A and B are shown apart, each in its own frame.
Chain A
Amino acid sequence: MTHRTVRGKIQYIYEARGSDEEFGWEWFSITHHEDGQHTVRAQCEIKAGFVAERSVTRDVVYSLDRQYRPLDCFVRLHESGHFLGAGWFRFDGQCAHGVAKSVKTGVTTQIIPLDNPIPSVGAHPLLCDMLHCMAYDHNKQARVQRSRGVMMTSLELDGCSGPFLTPHNMDIEYLGEENVSVPAGSFDAEHYRFPGVEFPEEEVWLVREPLQFVRVRVGGSMKSRYDLIKISNE
């Protein structure tokens, strides 16, 4: 079997109150399949009282093609210990398809015609934030590039609604290479920024080859950082 899997854990640290407070975790793995597909699995836990007054647990299994374009994504959410919603979303180039059930909206099906293949999915694990950056084209001159039609599974900051697909445009700015130290080690990382418009400004540090999450920082009222604290390659 020639696939490769990386497993890790991310710590969520709230900084808005002047000191570091751990407010969540994300256990993840990424498998790079023999046929070029990538599968990202993430289990996220967010405590109540930081991003919102609710706790959130989230399961995501998100698969992408060889060029990191979305194929399908499963999301399951609990809000404050109670089931909120689950859904499966597929992207075939012509349409985005969604089927979901939620305690708030019942069973919903969605078919969204696409003018262009979607660049990425915002399913809310930090791993998905990293994967937005894989749509950035380093062959282009533009330092700030617009990602049109990113499919969000929720527009809440903590991702705690739906899940339901909503197209969203976002800008991605490349800020260069930086050496970044996190508890899992020191990495020569690529640094990107999502300028804050509808969401708070966010910075992402990642290693592109082989792909690895390093750190995310979110500004504004949600001032927080998300550090890689464990990593293992198999």
Chain B
Amino acid sequence: MRLPKTRNEIVVGIMNHKTIRGKVAYHSHASGKQREFGREWFSITTHQDGERTLRAQCEIERGVVAERDVLRDVTYTTDSLFRPVDCYTRIHANGKFLGAGWMRFRGCEAECESLSATNGRVSQRVRLERPARSLGSHPVSSDAFHLPRFDHRLQDRVQYQPDVWMTSLEHDGCSGPLLASLPLSLEYCGRETVTVGAGTFEADHYRFLIEVATGAVPRQHPTEDLWCLPNSYIFIKATVGGYMAASFELVELDLGI
């Protein structure tokens, strides 16, 4: 180990990263009455070098998205432009280990090393047509990290995204983990004042138009609306229609100030 310099030679105690922490509650009224069916604890560290690390622990109870309980750990890092760098995922389905894996992105190559109860040990290498711009790792707090793809300099209110990379194509993310891509469109709906359990925020409203996908997903994903803080893309709220009839709301937020 290198010996420490004297205190006068170094800047003692300075750390320039910033971490926010939050909790999201999942609710659904698909059965006719409001029910909390899941929750997500997340934190996002913006490092001095511009990388962002999002950590999330998600719990989904059976009966809304699918007939299974899901527990998921995700540690997802992006570069300063929110493009994926790497992502670790670990999943339990119905209380039993399902799979774990680590995905890495570099230029026009993506790699995945995973171990799952379904597929065994898998090494995956994917040659990309263009560098990946986002990764769907399934925490709703990370859904907002798709949205820097939307180019506000363009006139188009709806923008087609041909290659959104995912760790699973299941709506609850309960498979793999294995790299797969999905086409979708993003719509920008404007800036709105949104009140959730964690407070009232001026947020940008986007819509994921996943129904334009061409059969890549096992089941049609209902349209998802998502509100996030401008520029930082911190998740505030999402709604998913159709069979899920679900809302996902930020109920706790610690900005680390």
A binding-site residues for B, Cβ under 8 Å: 1-3, 5, 7, 23, 27, 29, 31, 33-35, 37, 39, 41, 43, 45, 47-53, 55, 57, 59, 61, 63, 72, 74, 76, 78, 80-83, 86, 88, 90, 99, 101, 156-157
B208 interfacial by beta-carbon distance below 8 Å: no
Do the beta carbons of B86 and A1 come within 8 Å of each other? no
The A-contacting residues of B in range 197-240, CB under 8 angstroms, are none
Chain A residue contacts of B243, Cβ below 8 A: none
Chain A residue contacts of B113, Cβ below 8 A: 88, 99
Chain A residue contacts of B45, Cβ below 8 A: 43, 57
Q: Which residue of A lies closest to B48 (CB)?
A: A81
Do the beta carbons of B104 and A101 come within 8 Å of each other? yes
| Bound Cα distance from A101 to B77, whole angstroms | 14
Chain A residue contacts of B102, Cβ below 8 A: 74, 86, 88, 99
Minimum C-beta distance from B176 to chain A (A):
15
Chain B residue contacts of A29, Cβ below 8 A: 41, 57
Minimum C-beta distance from A201 to chain B (A):
16
Residue contacts A-B, CB under 8 angstroms, 30 given: A2-B95, A23-B13, A29-B41, A31-B71, A33-B96, A35-B92, A43-B43, A43-B55, A47-B15, A48-B10, A50-B4, A52-B2, A53-B2, A53-B5, A55-B14, A57-B47, A59-B53, A59-B75, A61-B88, A72-B115, A74-B102, A76-B86, A78-B48, A81-B16, A82-B48, A83-B51, A88-B100, A90-B115, A99-B102, A156-B1
B59 interfacial by beta-carbon distance below 8 Å: yes
* Count of A-B residue pairs with CB < 8 Å: 133
| Bound Cα distance from A25 to B43, whole angstroms | 15
Do the beta carbons of B4 and A74 come within 8 Å of each other? no
Provide the main secondary structure of the chain A interface.
Answer: strand
| Bound Cα distance from A188 to B4, whole angstroms | 37
A76 contacts which of B14, B48, B71, B77 (Cβ < 8 Å)?
B77
Do the beta carbons of B96 and A48 come within 8 Å of each other? no
Minimum C-beta distance from B114 to chain A (A):
9
